[in-house]
Structure 1
Amino acid sequence: MSDKVFRDPLYNYIAIDRKRDGWLLKLIDTPEVQRIRRIHQLGVSNITYPGADHNRLAHSLGVVYLMQRVLDSLEKTNDAERIKRARQPLLAAALLHDVGHGPYSHLFEPCLGINHEYWSIEVILNPRTNINKILLQEDQYLPKQVASLIQENDPGCPTWQKSLLSSQLDVDRMDYLRRDSLFTGAGYGHFDWYRILNTIHLMENNKESYDIVWPEKSAMAIEEYIFARYYMYQNVYLHKTTRGLEKLLVAMWKRADRLRNDGVDINAVPVLDEFWNSKNASPNQYLNIEEFTVLSQIQIWKNHSDQVDSILKCTG
């Protein structure tokens, strides 16, 4: 069998050709990508929606699947060679776009000071990471091409390629809306994704520039997507219980950081202590921080002396 198949609750089977895309399977097996298996897709939303225990790896594989479908569709209706040249960096970016996420996804970005896109790019470009080594084996320019697709407002990235991964209507959002709807049980994330993917086109603006467009007959499917996104934000992503818990955890973390800066021994676990004490943390130091790290730290504070009791109470 030439395909490696992942069973998925949304798409049934996600198939990756071992001969053509063996490099992609190598990326999936790296410690950096496997780490996001231990990062919740929806942060602490499983407190509000107990079924929302799905992870960033499942989502990233879903984005790879949708990107495959988009590229196959574009090859049939546009310049096939242009699409084939873009295929490898686009599939790599689809898999790696969330590799820099910290514990509970976006939750601790304000505490750690840098957003996940920065760390994703660092992991891709740093010569010490497994991801960088695999990409370089394929093409010396591939790491920079992938980083360019993920980096916001990179003028060197073709507009149409960037739009597929990061725009108001992209494969990233199309996967997480449906996936989050499924696992939360909130039935708001449904839309005709199949029609959107299969009616996509490239339109040439001039000799160097192309845009992603859809025919008028796809308008209703796109409207459906827009409403799905709105309802998911109102009912899931901005749910008051989830947002309240996020505020508490961020306040706790900031309180711990203030105590540490004041010279108080907060009994930090080794990987956090190393990250906090590093002036220029490496990607590997950052990637060592997982959700298990946060939970272990909270457990230590819970059983610690009154010296750090105010951390859990978010007081002082």
Structure 2
Amino acid sequence: MAYKDEQLNEEKVFKDPVHRYVHVKDRVIWDLISAAEFQRLRRIKQLGTSYLTFHGAEHSRFNHSLGVYEIVRRILFNFEGREHWNKEQRLLCLCAALLHDLGHGPFSHSFEKVFKLDHEEFTRKIILGNTEVNHILQRVDKGFPQKVADVINKTYEDKLVISLISSQIDADRMDYLQRDAYFTGVSYGHFDMERILRVMRPLEDQVVIKSSGMHAVEDYIMSRYQMYWQVYFHPVSRSAEVILSKILHRAKDLYQQDYTFSLKPTHFLSFFTGDVSLEDYLRLDESIVLYYFQMWADEADPILSDLCVRFTNRKLFKYIEFNPNLQMEEWMELYSLFEKAGMDPEYYLVVDSSSDLPYDFYRPGEEGERLPIHLLMPNQELKELSRQSDIVESISGKKRTDHKLYFPMDFVEALPDDEPEKARIETLLGLSQEK
């Protein structure tokens, strides 16, 4: 029997708090789960710094990746025998679902911004490089790794396959919304996924939803909207991200200034120089990063030491509502006052903005255009979701942005009362009204 068709003697199951069980029967999937690069995802948290806000959010990208695989497996089971579905694509879909997050690094998005990296590019490098994952995929077919990479990169010729893991209603989102809601303990991310899976239908270039399932999809869209504002953009989690980013910036700046670290930052050297090999990337996970943060807490550099103590012991920055587009003069004055008061504003005065577009309809030519969700009407006609749903129409195409200004309240309070800058800083930050 060809490797791609090989089945395990007995189905393996992973007990899962969200989907109850994750079922594995394909030898290829079982081997991929055992690969070193996939096991590494156990050491990367799904929600980055959110565990400092929601203490249950300790789940990993390993959990999530298994969940996305399981949802796609269930979708494909329902697709069997349907028109427009090519069963020869089954294994490709399952592998792409399982491996879609393979390239995420520690504290993913903050880390990427500081070192100008792209986790999708590293996903591609892992799948196509000299890795255990690549060797397993090559056993299916020499061209199979490239196909998997193309699906994840959204360049594969069959758009239906891509839409299963990358669209406005895909297995990736359906898993992380429910999983993140479960582990953070909030109620917003719950929706009737079983209903959605039952009404999904394959067409030539996308998955569509039977119109009878519209209300379940409305619930899904609103769940996503609420999760972004209540969990993903939570200001306390963002405060931790700000400090994390500033630690990495400070360490990089010190290295470029030939600063002598007490503990040589071996795992970070190629990141500091911008020449990151795949091997270096795979060696760095969150346990390593946190170890360095603990060591750097004792560094001679006061800024690096302070920031690491703050992150490690959850002594986070406070925040106020602050729109830099409307308050530029206040921002410039605060920047100057912080400098005079001995608080480096590059590290201790940070504007952070978050924005989200909960649902978008198709607007040709727009950057980052998104294929909308289509409903399949009883007469087989397709209708775009927001044209049928008043709820979805009310938030369609509406980008919401939130701005916060982060600063160390303890430093401001510790300034001597006779320090000329203190009163003005407190006034600008709105702290004087609280006294």
Partner of 1:238: 233
Aligned partner (choices 266, 270, 273) of residue 270 of structure 1? 266
Aligned partner (choices 251, 259, 278) of residue 256 of structure 1? 251
1: CA distance, partners of 2:112 / 2:302: 24
The answer to whether the Cα contact below 8 Å between 2:200 and 2:209 also exists between their aligned partners in 1 is: yes
Mapping of residues 91-170 of structure 1, within 5 Å = 91-126=94-129, 128-152=130-154, 154=155, 156-170=156-170
Q: Residue 31 of structure 1 aligns to which amino acid in structure 2?
A: A
Shift of 1:25: 0.8
Partner of 2:291: 296
Is 2:69 the partner of 1:64? yes
Is 2:22 the partner of 1:14? yes
The answer to whether the Cα contact below 8 Å between 1:268 and 1:297 also exists between their aligned partners in 2 is: no
The answer to whether the Cα contact below 8 Å between 2:68 and 2:175 also exists between their aligned partners in 1 is: yes
Shift of 1:105: 2.9
1: CA distance, partners of 2:20 / 2:108: 25
1: CA distance, partners of 2:50 / 2:271: 26
Q: Which runs of 5+ in 2 are unaligned?
A: 1-8, 308-343, 347-435
Mapping of residues 152-231 of structure 1, within 5 Å = 152=154, 154=155, 156-204=156-204, 210-231=205-226
- Deviation digits for residues 42-78 of structure 1 (CA, Å, limit 9, x no counterpart): 1111111001111110110010100001111111423
- Deviation digits for residues 253-276 of structure 1 (CA, Å, limit 9, x no counterpart): 112111211222234432222543
- Deviation digits for residues 253-301 of structure 1 (CA, Å, limit 9, x no counterpart): 112111211222234432222543573x221210111111111111111
1: CA distance, partners of 2:282 / 2:140: 24
Higher normalized strand content (fraction of residues)? 2
Partner of 2:12: 4
Partner of 1:310: 303
Partner of 2:333: none
Report the TM-score, using the length of structure 2 for normalisation.
Answer: 0.66
Q: Residue 88 of structure 2 aligns to which amino acid in structure 1?
A: R
Change (3 A) 1:158 1:312: farther
SS at match of 1:44: helix
Higher normalized helix content (fraction of residues)? 1
- Deviation digits for residues 90-130 of structure 1 (CA, Å, limit 9, x no counterpart): 1111111111111123221112211211111110011x111
Q: Residue 193 of structure 1 aligns to which amino acid in structure 2?
A: M
1: CA distance, partners of 2:272 / 2:253: 12
Deviates more, 1:268-277 or 1:163-172: 268-277
Deviates more, 1:43-52 or 1:157-166: 157-166
Instruction: State the superposition RMSD in angstroms.
Output: 1.6
Higher relative contact order, chain-length normalized (CA < 8 Å, sep 6+)? 1
SS at match of 1:188: coil
1: CA distance, partners of 2:70 / 2:140: 21
Partner of 1:207: none
The answer to whether the Cα contact below 8 Å between 1:177 and 1:189 also exists between their aligned partners in 2 is: yes
SS at match of 2:188: coil
Q: Residue 200 of structure 1 aligns to which amino acid in structure 2?
A: M
SS at match of 2:127: helix
Report the TM-score, using the length of structure 1 for normalisation.
Answer: 0.91
Q: Which runs of 5+ in 1 are unaligned?
A: 205-209
2: CA distance, partners of 1:302 / 1:63: 38
The answer to whether the Cα contact below 8 Å between 2:134 and 2:145 also exists between their aligned partners in 1 is: yes
2: CA distance, partners of 1:229 / 1:309: 41
Residue identity over aligned pairs, in percent, reads 38
Q: Residue 158 of structure 1 aligns to which amino acid in structure 2?
A: D
2: CA distance, partners of 1:186 / 1:107: 24
The answer to whether the Cα contact below 8 Å between 1:78 and 1:201 also exists between their aligned partners in 2 is: no
Q: Residue 240 of structure 1 aligns to which amino acid in structure 2?
A: P
Shift of 1:11: 1.4
The answer to whether the Cα contact below 8 Å between 2:298 and 2:305 also exists between their aligned partners in 1 is: no
Deviates more, 1:84-93 or 1:128-137: 84-93
Number of aligned positions between the proteins: 300
2: CA distance, partners of 1:194 / 1:48: 30
1: CA distance, partners of 2:296 / 2:190: 42
